[in-house]
């Protein structure tokens, strides 16, 4: 037992929590006197043998290096403590007079007229005892050099921060006889020193407080993705707004087909850094893409790519093209380790980070803003799409208002010359499939699919995949929320839950008044919220709850319902009795399509959401190998099989033999002209 610790030295516990001794931070003893050098070197060698894979007995270590037992035990505990740089102290703890822990004051401060004596460690003690006061100071320092806002001052002085600090201390219950209110300056100098230390901890904040230009390098406190050494090690993700004017054909409320012009759409892509292969993509409609579009892109990259039937007859994928999840069966449901992205709000949304961390199980590398060179591969891919695809089609807007492509491709108002949205989806699918079959100099002259298949054949191939129980119902568009069951037996209100301004219930829930007041966790698909699935707090299933009429008639997304309720609150949308709100919203948007492209995009998104989302079971290994046996066909040199083995053409023979059964139509309303 040592004097610095009240518990017995446990060597096995230290070995379990210690990293490999070969990776410990080292120490330089050249500045020490020769006698101190010998003592420090001997202590470092003793620590090495103490924490090595084949540990020596402690008695043998003490005899060999002449180290005192108490000194060795004290250094063994100190070397595993965390250093301010994020690592352990390691062999740095063997240096003489090294303190690994800051001074912590324990006694209260007595009232003093001046703060020159008797207040050592008092401010740190205050921050330790009152975390809310420290958080207030940190927020004030963080907001000090932000751009001017309404009702705010520019660069708040230290005196104003000090007044806010004193007010926070009084609100926390600190009386006048306690620190810092019992001192003459009320800890003004200590506060100034603490603010300086906070500024120096963050280089970007230090640059801002000094009035310098923003740093272009990555922030020191943000963990960056390492260099990619294998497939699915690091992926890059971003969105690109297509430089193209598009149209879409829709049926208006009178049953006539209309050709309408859309807003420019976004294409979201996930690209593997090591092989340069496109893993998945998603086309988002709207002025900006949101977290739901990010989730759809992640799901497209995780799930195996399905064959596609092209509307353009001449559109085919060239030989050896496709997506890795369909061409290389081993990459189906493969998860990546690092997800490199920029600082867009949809990328940093809480639901997005939860999906990446809990489902994919990866780290995120949020690069600094306005630095596209930190994500060079995805930016280069978007440059190729714009230059060799979007800028060559009719209706392109070019890279600038004065570009020659924009002037030459202007159809002069003829919407028939514009590319339609379904045609764009087909062309983008073929474009990225062919990109994966194009040789790249960055992967040794191989195509991305050849590089992926070559890595699969390596004996060191190892990749994480989505767990088998999650594959059958993998839906990243699903979100969860905790709600309370409402109802009243006295007023005759049956049990139900309220979700997004609508009641949900079921036969089981509505008939059990004992469930009133209990909380349940509901899961819902943001693309269609007509029904949710509920579970009790203990994990048992309650069942599927359906929305009340008329919200259960037409498929609609969560964002569409929120927009409908906003329009109702603004009195822009008036609903009649028992009228379907989605139908009323559709009529409202159709009145705006002639003057608003945003209305056209909203109608197009609603039309896509009305298509039923069929959850297919995951393909078996036999199905994947039958679709494309790349790993078996590969010879000594990488070779991709022809596209005919990997692409499935949907013909009339693939349609089920049973003819569709007619539906019984019911007349709900009679209109007399």
For residue range 146-163, what is the model confidence (pLDDT) as tens digits?
665 555 566 678 888 898
Secondary structure letter of residue 356 according to DSSP: I
Q: Write down the mean pLDDT value for the chain.
A: 80
Over residues 403-425, mean pLDDT: 82
First to last CA, the chain: 100
Give the pTM.
Answer: 0.64
Cis peptide before 180 (omega within 30 of 0): yes
Backbone φ and ψ of 593, nearest 5° = -70, -25
Q: Where are the alpha helices (DSSP H) in 104-157?
A: 122-129, 131-142
pLDDT of residue 291: 92
- Token look-up 């539906």 returns 663
pLDDT of residue 215: 53
Over residues 419-432, mean pLDDT: 92
Burial class, 41, CB count within 10 angstroms (exposed 0-12 / middle 13-18 / buried 19+): middle
Q: What is the C-alpha to C-alpha distance for residues 509 and 517, in angstroms, rounded to an integer?
A: 12
Angle, nearest 10°, between helix axes 34-51 and 69-78? 70
Of 612 and 284, which is predicted with more confidence?
284
pLDDT of residue 621: 37
Q: Which two tokens stand for residue 616?
A: 């297919």
pLDDT of residue 324: 93
What is the pLDDT confidence band of residue 116, given thresholds at 50, 70 and 90? Answer: low
Most confident of 203-207, 319-323, 441-445: 319-323
Rounded to 5°, angle at Cα 479 from 478 and 482: 145
pLDDT of residue 1: 41
Q: What is the C-alpha to C-alpha distance for residues 23 and 25, in angstroms, rounded to an integer?
A: 7
Domain limits of the chain?
11-94, 122-210, 234-471
Q: Which two tokens stand for residue 399?
A: 């890279």
Percent of the chain past pLDDT 90, that is, above it, reads 28
Is the pLDDT score of 627 beyond 60? no
Cis peptide before 505 (omega within 30 of 0): no
Rounded to 5°, angle at Cα 614 from 247 and 537: 120
- Token look-up 């002085």 returns 157
Q: What is the C-alpha to C-alpha distance for residues 8 and 524, in angstroms, rounded to an integer?
A: 54
pLDDT tens profile 569-599: 999 998 887 889 999 999 999 999 888 888 9
What is the pLDDT confidence band of residue 656, given thresholds at 50, 70 and 90? Answer: very low
SS3 content of the chain, % helix, strand, coil (to 5): 40, 15, 50
**454 closest CA partner among 444, 442, 467:** 444
Q: What is the C-alpha to C-alpha distance for residues 397 and 403, in angstroms, rounded to an integer?
A: 8
pLDDT of residue 629: 29
Q: Residue 285 half-sphere exposure, CB side, CA atoms within 13 Å?
A: 22
Sheet of 246-251: strand order equals 257-261, 246-251, 419-420
Backbone φ and ψ of 95, nearest 5° = -70, 150
Least confident of 7-21, 31-45, 282-296, 367-381: 7-21
pLDDT of residue 617: 36
Over residues 204-218, mean pLDDT: 63
Backbone φ and ψ of 326, nearest 5° = -100, -30
Is the pLDDT score of 665 beyond 70? no
Least confident of 78-87, 161-170, 348-357: 78-87
pLDDT tens profile 222-275: 567 778 888 999 999 999 999 888 889 888 888 888 888 888 899 999 999 999
What 3-state DSSP class applies to 501? Answer: coil
pLDDT of residue 561: 93
Is the pLDDT score of 560 beyond 70? yes
Percent of the chain past pLDDT 70, that is, above it, reads 83
Is the pLDDT score of 168 beyond 50? yes
Q: Residue 249 half-sphere exposure, CB side, CA atoms within 13 Å?
A: 10
**398 closest CA partner among 261, 247, 243, 246:** 243
Q: What is the C-alpha to C-alpha distance for residues 466 and 472, in angstroms, rounded to an integer?
A: 10
pLDDT of residue 294: 93
Is the pLDDT score of 547 beyond 50? yes
CATH hierarchy code of domain 234-471:
3.30.420.10
Is the pLDDT score of 315 beyond 90? no
**93 closest CA partner among 22, 25, 160, 16:** 25
- The H or E element spanning position 34 is helix 34-51
**What radius of gyration do the chain's Cα atoms show?**
33
Q: Which two tokens stand for residue 7?
A: 């518990």
Secondary structure letter of residue 8 according to DSSP: -
Q: Which two tokens stand for residue 665?
A: 């139509």
Sign (positive/negative) of CA torsion 386, 391, 394, 397?
Answer: positive
Secondary structure letter of residue 664 according to DSSP: P
């Amino acid at each position: 037992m040592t004097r610095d610790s009240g518990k017995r030295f446990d060597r096995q516990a230290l070995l379990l929590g210690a990293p490999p001794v070969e990776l410990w931070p080292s120490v330089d003893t050249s500045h020490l006197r020769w006698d101190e050098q010998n003592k420090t070197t001997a202590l470092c060698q003793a620590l090495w043998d103490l924490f090595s894979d084949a540990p020596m007995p402690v008695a043998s270590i003490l005899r060999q290096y002449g180290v005192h037992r108490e000194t060795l035990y004290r250094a063994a505990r100190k070397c595993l403590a965390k250093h301010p740089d994020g690592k352990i102290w390691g062999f740095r703890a063997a240096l003489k007079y090294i303190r690994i822990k800051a001074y912590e004051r324990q006694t209260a401060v007595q009232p003093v007229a001046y703060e020159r004596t008797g207040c050592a460690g008092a401010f740190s003690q205050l921050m330790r005892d009152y975390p809310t006061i420290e958080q207030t100071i940190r927020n004030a320092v963080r907001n000090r050099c932000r751009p001017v806002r309404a009702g705010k001052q520019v660069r708040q002085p230290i005196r104003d921060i000090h007044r806010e600090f004193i007010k926070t201390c009084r609100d926390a219950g600190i009386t006048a006889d306690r620190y810092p209110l019992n001192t003459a300056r009320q800890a003004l100098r200590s506060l100034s020193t603490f603010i300086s230390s906070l500024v120096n901890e963050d280089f970007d904040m230090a640059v801002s407080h000094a009035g310098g230009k923003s740093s272009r390098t990555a922030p020191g406190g943000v963990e960056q993705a390492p260099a990619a050494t294998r497939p699915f090690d690091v992926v890059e993700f971003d969105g690109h707004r297509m430089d193209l004017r598009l149209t879409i054909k829709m049926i208006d409320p009178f049953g006539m087909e209309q050709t309408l012009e859309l807003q420019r759409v976004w294409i979201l892509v996930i690209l593997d850094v090591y092989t340069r292969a496109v893993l998945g993509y998603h086309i988002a409609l709207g002025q900006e893409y949101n977290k739901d579009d990010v989730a759809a892109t992640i799901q497209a990259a995780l799930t195996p790519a399905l064959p596609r039937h092209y509307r353009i007859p001449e559109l085919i994928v060239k030989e050896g093209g496709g997506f890795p999840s369909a061409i290389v069966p081993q990459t189906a449901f493969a998860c990546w380790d690092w997800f490199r992205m920029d600082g867009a709000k949809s990328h940093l949304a809480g639901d997005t980070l939860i999906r990446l961390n809990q489902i994919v199980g990866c780290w995120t590398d949020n690069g600094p803003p306005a630095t596209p060179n930190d994500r060079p591969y995805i930016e280069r891919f978007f440059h190729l799409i714009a230059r060799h695809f979007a800028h060559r089609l009719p209706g392109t807007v070019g890279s600038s208002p004065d570009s020659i492509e924009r002037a030459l491709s202007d159809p002069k108002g003829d919407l028939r010359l514009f590319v339609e949205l379904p045609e764009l989806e087909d062309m983008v699918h073929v474009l990225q499939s062919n990109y994966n079959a194009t040789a790249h100099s960055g992967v040794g002259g191989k195509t991305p699919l050849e590089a992926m298949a070559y890595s699969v054949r390596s004996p060191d191939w190892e990749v994480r995949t989505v767990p088998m129980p999650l594959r059958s119902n993998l839906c990243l568009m699903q979100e969860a929320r905790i709600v309370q069951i409402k109802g009243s037996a006295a007023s005759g209100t049956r049990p139900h839950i309220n979700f997004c301004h609508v009641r949900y219930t079921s036969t089981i829930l509505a008939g059990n008044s004992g469930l009133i007041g209990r909380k349940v966790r509901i899961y819902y698909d943001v693309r269609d919220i007509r029904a949710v699935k509920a579970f009790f707090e203990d994990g048992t299933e309650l069942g599927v709850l359906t929305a009340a009429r008329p919200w259960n008639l037409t498929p609609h997304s969560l964002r569409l319902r929120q927009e409908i309720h906003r329009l109702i609150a603004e009195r822009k949308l008036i609903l009649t009795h028992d009228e379907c709100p989605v139908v009323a919203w559709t009529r409202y948007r159709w009145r705006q399509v002639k003057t608003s492209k945003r209305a056209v995009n909203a109608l197009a998104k609603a039309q896509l959401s009305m298509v039923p989302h069929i959850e297919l079971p995951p393909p078996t290994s036999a199905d994947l190998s039958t679709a494309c046996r790349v790993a078996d066909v590969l010879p000594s040199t990488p070779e991709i099989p022809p596209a005919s083995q990997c692409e499935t053409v949907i013909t009339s023979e693939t349609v089920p033999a049973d003819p569709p059964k007619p539906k019984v139509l019911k007349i709900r309303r009679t209109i007399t002209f």
